[in-house]
A and B are shown apart, each in its own frame.
Chain A
């Protein structure tokens, strides 16, 4: 079955970086995109950005531009999300999700049929 398995929780100090992995199985990795979504404590879902394992195309939300990098390794069907210069506002559960969009403008194509189990990232001094 289609599955996304994420790496374990992390505790980081302000200013540090975190890298979360998301290993896909049960489907052809390059046939779908991967989006990253986070949920801060008591808050709603926030889309962070998307990457296409097919051609490496990516896009990030403006507020995270310059701090976030998404990447994929097609040899291991694994996606990665790195977030730098962490602050307490980045404390959240981070989810990867299989995204219908594989490239181009993705007009109306971003939606998520399978999600990872989530990775709690805590930023605290």
Chain B
């Protein structure tokens, strides 16, 4: 099945910028979405349609795209941003969603 590729882990110090990439051949044809998962909590939508932030999501979270890769950028990382992050887009048919393998963000 089609899967998007993310780095398994990213580590940054507080106040630094974290970038998490997500790549897939079909990415240029569909929007990308980013979710934050913390243990015991409901997942949260961080970015939709590539670059849009839902209300209530801090401005330090931003999304971008270049070719087959989309990127989630967390500027001025806080300790509370330590979590797993998943990208999502559509598969090659466009009619089913596909997730990345997830990236664990560690705040040193």
Q: Which residue of chain A has its CB nearest to the CB of B54?
A: A113
Binary interface encoding of chain B residues 1-28 relative to chain A, with 1 for a CB under 8 A from any of its CBs, else 0: 1000000000000000000000000000
Please report the C-alpha to C-alpha distance between residue A110 and residue B95 in the assembled complex, in whole angstroms. Answer: 8
Contact between B95 and A107, CB atoms less than 8 A apart: yes
With A44-B86, A107-B94 known to touch, is A112 a contact of B45 (CB < 8 Å)?
Answer: yes
A114 to chain B, nearest CB (A): 8
Nearest 8 A-B pairs (CB), nearest first?
Answer: A110-B97, A115-B43, A45-B99, A44-B102, A115-B42, A107-B94, A44-B101, A117-B42
Please report the C-alpha to C-alpha distance between residue A59 and residue B42 in the assembled complex, in whole angstroms. Answer: 23
Binary interface encoding of chain A residues 53-83 relative to chain B, with 1 for a CB under 8 A from any of its CBs, else 0: 0000001010000000000000000000000
- B residues bordering A, Cβ < 8 Å? 1, 29-31, 33, 35, 37, 41-45, 48, 54, 86, 88, 90, 94-102
Question: What is the total number of residues of chain A having a CB less than 8 Å from a CB of chain B?
Answer: 25
Q: Which residue of chain A has its CB nearest to the CB of B4?
A: A44
With A44-B86, A45-B102 known to touch, is A111 a contact of B42 (CB < 8 Å)?
Answer: no
